[in-house]
Amino acid sequence: MKRRKFNSTLALGVSGVALTANMPLACAMNSNQNKKKLGVALVGLGSYSTYQLAPALLDTAHCYLAGIVTGTKEKEEVWANKYNISQDSIYNYDDFDSIKDNPHIDIVYVVLPNSMHADFSIRAARAGKHVICEKPMAMNVEECDAIITACKKANVKLGIGYRLHSEPYTQQVKRFVKEKTFGNIRYISADAGYYSGSNPNQWRLDKSLSGGGALVNMGVYAIQSLIYGTGENPISVAAQEFSTRPKYFKGTDETITAQFEFKSGAVGNIMTSHNANANRLYASCEKGWFELNPANNYGPLQGTTSKGDKISFPHESQQKLQMDDFAKHILFDAPNLVPGEMGKRDMIIVEAIYKSIAEDGKKQVLDFEPRYGFGE
Protein backbone atom coordinates (compact mmCIF):
# COMPACT_ATOMS: atom_id res chain seq x y z
CA MET A 1 0.00 0.00 0.00
CA LYS A 2 1.08 3.56 -0.58
CA ARG A 3 1.71 5.81 2.41
CA ARG A 4 -1.45 7.81 1.67
CA LYS A 5 -3.55 4.64 1.66
CA PHE A 6 -1.97 3.40 4.90
CA ASN A 7 -2.56 6.67 6.65
CA SER A 8 -6.18 6.83 5.55
CA THR A 9 -6.69 3.22 6.53
CA LEU A 10 -5.24 3.82 9.96
CA ALA A 11 -7.25 6.99 10.43
CA LEU A 12 -10.48 5.24 9.54
CA GLY A 13 -9.68 2.29 11.75
CA VAL A 14 -9.17 -0.59 9.37
CA SER A 15 -12.15 -2.83 9.12
CA GLY A 16 -10.36 -5.53 7.21
CA VAL A 17 -10.42 -7.86 4.34
CA ALA A 18 -11.82 -11.23 3.54
CA LEU A 19 -9.98 -13.75 1.57
CA THR A 20 -12.28 -16.17 -0.03
CA ALA A 21 -10.35 -18.35 -2.35
CA ASN A 22 -10.91 -21.09 -4.81
CA MET A 23 -8.11 -23.55 -5.32
CA PRO A 24 -5.58 -22.82 -8.04
CA LEU A 25 -6.52 -24.52 -11.31
CA ALA A 26 -3.72 -27.05 -11.14
CA CYS A 27 -4.70 -28.08 -7.63
CA ALA A 28 -8.44 -28.15 -8.34
CA MET A 29 -7.91 -31.07 -10.66
CA ASN A 30 -7.09 -33.32 -7.74
CA SER A 31 -9.34 -32.80 -4.73
CA ASN A 32 -7.66 -35.52 -2.70
CA GLN A 33 -4.34 -33.73 -3.02
CA ASN A 34 -5.95 -30.45 -2.05
CA LYS A 35 -7.15 -31.93 1.20
CA LYS A 36 -3.52 -32.52 2.09
CA LYS A 37 -2.51 -28.93 1.33
CA LEU A 38 -3.47 -25.83 3.27
CA GLY A 39 -4.71 -22.66 1.62
CA VAL A 40 -2.71 -19.52 2.35
CA ALA A 41 -4.06 -15.99 1.99
CA LEU A 42 -1.57 -13.15 1.64
CA VAL A 43 -2.70 -9.95 3.33
CA GLY A 44 -0.77 -7.14 1.66
CA LEU A 45 0.75 -7.39 -1.81
CA GLY A 46 3.92 -5.35 -1.42
CA SER A 47 7.33 -6.38 -2.70
CA TYR A 48 7.81 -9.24 -0.23
CA SER A 49 4.53 -10.92 -1.18
CA THR A 50 5.06 -10.16 -4.86
CA TYR A 51 8.63 -11.30 -5.32
CA GLN A 52 9.16 -13.84 -2.51
CA LEU A 53 6.05 -15.33 -0.93
CA ALA A 54 3.76 -15.76 -3.92
CA PRO A 55 6.42 -17.37 -6.16
CA ALA A 56 7.42 -19.64 -3.27
CA LEU A 57 3.83 -20.82 -2.90
CA LEU A 58 4.01 -22.24 -6.42
CA ASP A 59 6.61 -24.73 -5.17
CA THR A 60 5.43 -25.54 -1.64
CA ALA A 61 4.47 -29.15 -0.92
CA HIS A 62 2.00 -28.63 1.93
CA CYS A 63 0.33 -25.28 1.19
CA TYR A 64 -0.71 -23.14 -1.75
CA LEU A 65 -1.84 -19.61 -2.58
CA ALA A 66 -5.59 -19.57 -2.02
CA GLY A 67 -6.45 -15.88 -1.72
CA ILE A 68 -5.19 -12.32 -1.71
CA VAL A 69 -6.06 -9.07 0.02
CA THR A 70 -5.09 -5.79 -1.55
CA GLY A 71 -5.96 -2.14 -1.29
CA THR A 72 -4.79 -1.50 -4.84
CA LYS A 73 -7.42 -2.20 -7.48
CA GLU A 74 -4.87 -2.43 -10.27
CA LYS A 75 -3.19 -5.42 -8.65
CA GLU A 76 -6.34 -7.55 -8.66
CA GLU A 77 -6.32 -8.46 -12.35
CA VAL A 78 -2.55 -8.98 -12.43
CA TRP A 79 -2.64 -11.45 -9.55
CA ALA A 80 -5.83 -13.12 -10.78
CA ASN A 81 -4.24 -13.87 -14.15
CA LYS A 82 -0.85 -14.90 -12.82
CA TYR A 83 -2.04 -17.19 -10.03
CA ASN A 84 -5.45 -18.35 -11.32
CA ILE A 85 -7.31 -16.64 -8.50
CA SER A 86 -11.01 -16.20 -9.14
CA GLN A 87 -12.71 -12.87 -8.50
CA ASP A 88 -14.50 -14.12 -5.40
CA SER A 89 -11.10 -14.84 -3.86
CA ILE A 90 -9.85 -11.28 -4.21
CA TYR A 91 -10.65 -8.76 -1.48
CA ASN A 92 -9.91 -5.27 -0.30
CA TYR A 93 -9.42 -4.02 3.23
CA ASP A 94 -13.09 -3.47 4.04
CA ASP A 95 -14.41 -7.01 4.54
CA PHE A 96 -11.57 -8.95 6.11
CA ASP A 97 -13.68 -10.48 8.87
CA SER A 98 -15.77 -12.47 6.39
CA ILE A 99 -12.73 -14.70 5.92
CA LYS A 100 -14.40 -16.88 8.54
CA ASP A 101 -16.84 -18.08 5.86
CA ASN A 102 -14.15 -19.27 3.48
CA PRO A 103 -13.36 -22.98 3.95
CA HIS A 104 -10.47 -22.84 1.48
CA ILE A 105 -8.42 -20.43 3.59
CA ASP A 106 -6.53 -22.19 6.38
CA ILE A 107 -3.65 -19.76 6.99
CA VAL A 108 -3.57 -15.98 6.88
CA TYR A 109 -0.11 -14.51 6.31
CA VAL A 110 -0.02 -10.89 7.49
CA VAL A 111 2.46 -9.00 5.30
CA LEU A 112 1.57 -5.42 6.22
CA PRO A 113 3.41 -2.53 7.88
CA ASN A 114 4.21 -3.26 11.51
CA SER A 115 1.48 -1.00 12.87
CA MET A 116 -1.13 -3.30 11.30
CA HIS A 117 0.27 -6.65 12.43
CA ALA A 118 -1.65 -6.94 15.67
CA ASP A 119 -5.00 -5.85 14.22
CA PHE A 120 -5.02 -8.27 11.32
CA SER A 121 -3.41 -11.16 13.22
CA ILE A 122 -6.01 -10.92 15.98
CA ARG A 123 -8.91 -10.67 13.55
CA ALA A 124 -7.60 -13.60 11.52
CA ALA A 125 -7.44 -15.68 14.70
CA ARG A 126 -10.98 -14.67 15.65
CA ALA A 127 -12.06 -15.83 12.20
CA GLY A 128 -10.64 -19.26 13.02
CA LYS A 129 -7.61 -19.05 10.73
CA HIS A 130 -4.04 -20.00 11.58
CA VAL A 131 -1.70 -17.01 11.50
CA ILE A 132 1.76 -16.23 10.18
CA CYS A 133 2.74 -12.71 11.22
CA GLU A 134 5.65 -11.12 9.42
CA LYS A 135 8.50 -9.80 11.57
CA PRO A 136 8.71 -7.86 13.77
CA MET A 137 5.72 -9.44 15.46
CA ALA A 138 4.19 -6.14 16.58
CA MET A 139 4.84 -2.56 17.64
CA ASN A 140 5.43 -3.50 21.29
CA VAL A 141 5.26 -6.34 23.81
CA GLU A 142 1.67 -5.50 24.73
CA GLU A 143 0.55 -6.14 21.17
CA CYS A 144 2.52 -9.40 21.10
CA ASP A 145 0.60 -10.56 24.16
CA ALA A 146 -2.69 -9.63 22.51
CA ILE A 147 -1.87 -11.68 19.40
CA ILE A 148 -0.77 -14.71 21.43
CA THR A 149 -3.90 -14.52 23.60
CA ALA A 150 -6.20 -14.24 20.58
CA CYS A 151 -4.64 -17.27 18.89
CA LYS A 152 -4.82 -19.39 22.02
CA LYS A 153 -8.44 -18.39 22.64
CA ALA A 154 -9.36 -19.30 19.06
CA ASN A 155 -7.30 -22.52 19.21
CA VAL A 156 -5.33 -21.62 16.09
CA LYS A 157 -1.60 -21.88 15.42
CA LEU A 158 0.67 -18.84 15.38
CA GLY A 159 4.00 -18.48 13.63
CA ILE A 160 6.32 -15.52 13.02
CA GLY A 161 7.92 -14.83 9.64
CA TYR A 162 11.46 -15.77 10.65
CA ARG A 163 12.39 -17.61 7.46
CA LEU A 164 15.96 -18.40 8.51
CA HIS A 165 14.95 -21.08 11.00
CA SER A 166 13.83 -23.27 8.10
CA GLU A 167 16.92 -22.91 5.92
CA PRO A 168 19.86 -25.34 6.20
CA TYR A 169 22.70 -22.94 7.05
CA THR A 170 20.94 -21.72 10.17
CA GLN A 171 20.05 -25.29 11.08
CA GLN A 172 23.73 -26.21 10.74
CA VAL A 173 24.65 -23.42 13.16
CA LYS A 174 22.14 -24.84 15.62
CA ARG A 175 23.77 -28.27 15.26
CA PHE A 176 27.23 -26.81 15.91
CA VAL A 177 25.91 -25.29 19.13
CA LYS A 178 23.92 -28.31 20.29
CA GLU A 179 26.70 -30.80 19.55
CA LYS A 180 29.45 -28.46 20.81
CA THR A 181 31.39 -29.08 17.60
CA PHE A 182 33.82 -26.29 18.51
CA GLY A 183 33.26 -26.35 22.26
CA ASN A 184 31.40 -23.70 24.21
CA ILE A 185 30.76 -20.28 22.67
CA ARG A 186 32.95 -17.52 24.11
CA TYR A 187 32.12 -14.59 21.85
CA ILE A 188 29.53 -14.08 19.16
CA SER A 189 28.77 -11.17 16.85
CA ALA A 190 26.06 -10.52 14.30
CA ASP A 191 25.64 -7.69 11.80
CA ALA A 192 22.47 -7.00 9.82
CA GLY A 193 21.82 -3.90 7.79
CA TYR A 194 21.45 -2.27 4.41
CA TYR A 195 21.71 1.16 2.82
CA SER A 196 18.17 2.50 2.54
CA GLY A 197 18.99 4.90 -0.26
CA SER A 198 17.35 8.28 -0.63
CA ASN A 199 13.61 7.77 -0.28
CA PRO A 200 12.49 9.49 2.91
CA ASN A 201 8.85 8.66 2.13
CA GLN A 202 9.21 4.88 2.55
CA TRP A 203 6.97 3.54 5.31
CA ARG A 204 9.88 2.05 7.25
CA LEU A 205 11.06 5.59 8.01
CA ASP A 206 7.65 6.54 9.38
CA LYS A 207 7.64 5.56 13.05
CA SER A 208 3.84 5.55 13.22
CA LEU A 209 3.89 2.67 10.74
CA SER A 210 7.16 0.91 11.61
CA GLY A 211 7.49 1.42 15.37
CA GLY A 212 11.23 1.95 14.95
CA GLY A 213 14.04 1.93 12.44
CA ALA A 214 16.91 -0.43 11.72
CA LEU A 215 16.49 -2.29 15.01
CA VAL A 216 12.94 -3.51 14.41
CA ASN A 217 13.66 -4.23 10.76
CA MET A 218 17.13 -5.75 10.39
CA GLY A 219 18.09 -5.80 14.06
CA VAL A 220 15.80 -8.71 14.83
CA TYR A 221 17.94 -10.85 12.50
CA ALA A 222 21.04 -9.94 14.47
CA ILE A 223 19.29 -10.62 17.80
CA GLN A 224 18.09 -13.96 16.46
CA SER A 225 21.58 -14.84 15.26
CA LEU A 226 23.07 -14.35 18.73
CA ILE A 227 20.39 -16.49 20.33
CA TYR A 228 20.50 -19.50 18.01
CA GLY A 229 24.26 -19.00 17.69
CA THR A 230 24.66 -19.55 21.44
CA GLY A 231 21.62 -21.71 22.10
CA GLU A 232 20.49 -19.50 24.96
CA ASN A 233 18.66 -16.30 25.74
CA PRO A 234 20.65 -13.25 26.86
CA ILE A 235 20.58 -12.11 30.49
CA SER A 236 21.49 -8.46 29.86
CA VAL A 237 21.95 -5.89 27.13
CA ALA A 238 23.48 -2.42 26.82
CA ALA A 239 23.13 -0.35 23.65
CA GLN A 240 24.18 2.76 21.75
CA GLU A 241 22.67 4.64 18.79
CA PHE A 242 24.53 6.50 16.04
CA SER A 243 23.24 8.86 13.38
CA THR A 244 25.23 10.32 10.51
CA ARG A 245 22.17 11.39 8.46
CA PRO A 246 19.80 12.91 11.04
CA LYS A 247 17.86 14.89 8.44
CA TYR A 248 17.07 11.69 6.56
CA PHE A 249 16.41 9.46 9.56
CA LYS A 250 14.26 12.00 11.36
CA GLY A 251 12.06 9.74 13.43
CA THR A 252 13.70 6.31 13.31
CA ASP A 253 17.04 4.86 14.34
CA GLU A 254 19.78 4.70 11.72
CA THR A 255 22.48 2.55 13.33
CA ILE A 256 22.50 0.71 16.66
CA THR A 257 25.10 -1.40 18.42
CA ALA A 258 24.36 -3.54 21.47
CA GLN A 259 26.33 -5.78 23.81
CA PHE A 260 24.84 -8.93 25.34
CA GLU A 261 25.73 -11.23 28.21
CA PHE A 262 24.67 -14.87 28.50
CA LYS A 263 24.37 -17.13 31.53
CA SER A 264 27.04 -19.48 30.14
CA GLY A 265 29.57 -16.66 30.27
CA ALA A 266 29.46 -15.94 26.56
CA VAL A 267 29.31 -12.34 25.42
CA GLY A 268 27.95 -11.00 22.16
CA ASN A 269 27.63 -7.90 20.03
CA ILE A 270 25.23 -6.81 17.31
CA MET A 271 25.29 -3.99 14.79
CA THR A 272 22.24 -3.09 12.76
CA SER A 273 21.80 -0.23 10.33
CA HIS A 274 19.67 1.36 7.63
CA ASN A 275 22.76 3.20 6.44
CA ALA A 276 25.28 0.39 5.84
CA ASN A 277 25.27 -3.06 4.29
CA ALA A 278 25.98 -5.76 6.86
CA ASN A 279 25.27 -9.48 6.74
CA ARG A 280 27.41 -11.70 8.99
CA LEU A 281 27.36 -14.10 11.92
CA TYR A 282 30.63 -15.07 13.65
CA ALA A 283 31.13 -17.25 16.72
CA SER A 284 34.42 -17.74 18.56
CA CYS A 285 34.45 -20.94 20.58
CA GLU A 286 36.79 -22.87 22.89
CA LYS A 287 38.12 -25.03 20.05
CA GLY A 288 37.70 -22.90 16.97
CA TRP A 289 35.13 -20.76 15.21
CA PHE A 290 32.35 -20.79 12.65
CA GLU A 291 30.97 -18.08 10.43
CA LEU A 292 28.11 -17.36 8.03
CA ASN A 293 28.82 -14.60 5.55
CA PRO A 294 26.30 -13.76 4.15
CA ALA A 295 24.12 -14.84 7.04
CA ASN A 296 20.64 -13.37 6.71
CA ASN A 297 19.71 -12.45 3.14
CA TYR A 298 17.45 -14.50 0.86
CA GLY A 299 20.39 -16.68 -0.13
CA PRO A 300 22.32 -18.49 -1.13
CA LEU A 301 24.21 -18.14 2.15
CA GLN A 302 27.81 -19.19 2.72
CA GLY A 303 29.74 -20.50 5.69
CA THR A 304 33.25 -21.45 6.80
CA THR A 305 34.83 -22.91 9.93
CA SER A 306 38.21 -22.91 11.63
CA LYS A 307 38.68 -26.48 10.41
CA GLY A 308 38.86 -25.17 6.88
CA ASP A 309 35.47 -26.60 5.99
CA LYS A 310 33.00 -24.79 3.83
CA ILE A 311 29.36 -24.83 4.89
CA SER A 312 27.42 -25.36 1.69
CA PHE A 313 23.91 -26.53 0.82
CA PRO A 314 21.83 -26.51 -2.36
CA HIS A 315 19.84 -23.29 -2.52
CA GLU A 316 16.09 -23.36 -2.02
CA SER A 317 13.62 -20.57 -1.40
CA GLN A 318 13.70 -19.80 2.30
CA GLN A 319 10.09 -18.66 2.10
CA LYS A 320 9.07 -21.99 0.58
CA LEU A 321 10.78 -23.90 3.38
CA GLN A 322 9.31 -21.60 6.04
CA MET A 323 5.71 -21.87 4.87
CA ASP A 324 5.95 -25.63 4.41
CA ASP A 325 7.34 -25.99 7.93
CA PHE A 326 4.39 -24.06 9.35
CA ALA A 327 1.95 -26.13 7.30
CA LYS A 328 3.56 -29.33 8.61
CA HIS A 329 3.16 -28.00 12.14
CA ILE A 330 -0.58 -27.74 11.51
CA LEU A 331 -1.03 -30.89 9.46
CA PHE A 332 1.32 -33.32 11.20
CA ASP A 333 1.98 -31.72 14.59
CA ALA A 334 5.60 -31.09 13.60
CA PRO A 335 7.49 -28.62 15.83
CA ASN A 336 6.60 -24.95 15.47
CA LEU A 337 10.02 -23.51 14.64
CA VAL A 338 8.92 -19.90 15.11
CA PRO A 339 6.16 -19.63 17.75
CA GLY A 340 4.59 -16.39 18.89
CA GLU A 341 6.63 -16.50 22.10
CA MET A 342 9.74 -16.11 19.97
CA GLY A 343 8.42 -12.92 18.43
CA LYS A 344 7.46 -11.63 21.86
CA ARG A 345 10.88 -12.47 23.32
CA ASP A 346 12.60 -10.50 20.58
CA MET A 347 10.31 -7.53 21.14
CA ILE A 348 11.18 -7.64 24.86
CA ILE A 349 14.84 -7.40 23.84
CA VAL A 350 14.11 -4.61 21.35
CA GLU A 351 12.37 -2.58 24.05
CA ALA A 352 15.28 -3.16 26.43
CA ILE A 353 17.71 -1.90 23.78
CA TYR A 354 15.70 1.26 23.22
CA LYS A 355 15.49 1.77 26.99
CA SER A 356 19.26 1.36 27.33
CA ILE A 357 19.81 3.98 24.62
CA ALA A 358 17.40 6.36 26.36
CA GLU A 359 19.38 5.84 29.59
CA ASP A 360 22.79 6.57 27.99
CA GLY A 361 23.79 2.95 27.50
CA LYS A 362 22.77 1.65 30.92
CA LYS A 363 22.77 -2.14 31.14
CA GLN A 364 19.28 -3.67 31.12
CA VAL A 365 18.60 -6.98 32.87
CA LEU A 366 16.72 -9.56 30.82
CA ASP A 367 14.89 -12.33 32.65
CA PHE A 368 13.57 -15.21 30.53
CA GLU A 369 12.74 -18.78 31.35
CA PRO A 370 15.68 -20.90 30.13
CA ARG A 371 14.08 -21.98 26.83
CA TYR A 372 11.48 -19.24 26.48
CA GLY A 373 10.80 -18.47 22.87
CA PHE A 374 12.71 -21.39 21.37
CA GLY A 375 10.74 -23.18 18.70
CA GLU A 376 11.69 -26.77 19.28
Domain ranges for the chain: 3-160, 164-314+340-365
Q: What is the DSSP string of 157-218?
A: -EEE--GGGGSHHHHHHHHHHHHTBTBSEEEEEEEEEEE-TT-TTSGGG-HHHHSSSHIIII
Going from the C-alpha of 362 to that of each of 194, 211, 357, 359, 368, the distances in angstroms are: 27, 22, 7, 6, 19
Q: Which of 102, 95, 101, 92 is nearest to 40 (CA)?
A: 102
Cα–Cα distance measured from residue 176 to residue 287, given in angstroms and rounded to the nearest whole number: 12
Instruction: Write out the CATH class of domain 164-314+340-365.
Output: alpha beta
Q: What is the pLDDT, as a whole number, of residue 21?
A: 35
Cα–Cα distance measured from residue 79 to residue 85, given in angstroms and rounded to the nearest whole number: 7
Cα–Cα distance measured from residue 265 to residue 290, given in angstroms and rounded to the nearest whole number: 18
With the CA atoms of 50, 56, 57 and 61 taken in that order, what torsion angle do they form, in degrees rounded to the nearest 10? 180
pLDDT along the chain (376 residues), means of 10: 40 34 36 68 97 98 95 92 88 87 94 98 97 98 98 98 98 98 98 94 96 98 98 98 95 98 98 98 98 97 97 97 98 97 98 98 96 90
In the sheet that holds 130-133, the strands lie side by side as: 90-91, 63-69, 38-43, 107-110, 130-133, 158-160
Chain Cα centroid distance, residue 281: 18
Chain Cα centroid distance, residue 308: 32
Number of Cβ within a 10 Å radius of residue 109: 30
What is the DSSP code (8-state) at residue 116? G
Q: Which of 215, 335, 314, 342 is nearest to 274 (CA)?
A: 215
| Whether 147 contacts 136, CB under 8 Å | no
Query: Which helix H or strand E contains 4, and what residues bound it?
Result: helix 3-12
Strand 107-110 and strand 130-133: pairing?
parallel
Q: What is the DSSP string of 85-110?
A: --GGGEE-TT-BGGGGG-TT--EEEE
CATH fold, domain 3-160, is Rossmann fold (3.40.50)
User: How many DSSP H helices and E strands does the chain contain?
Assistant: 14, 15
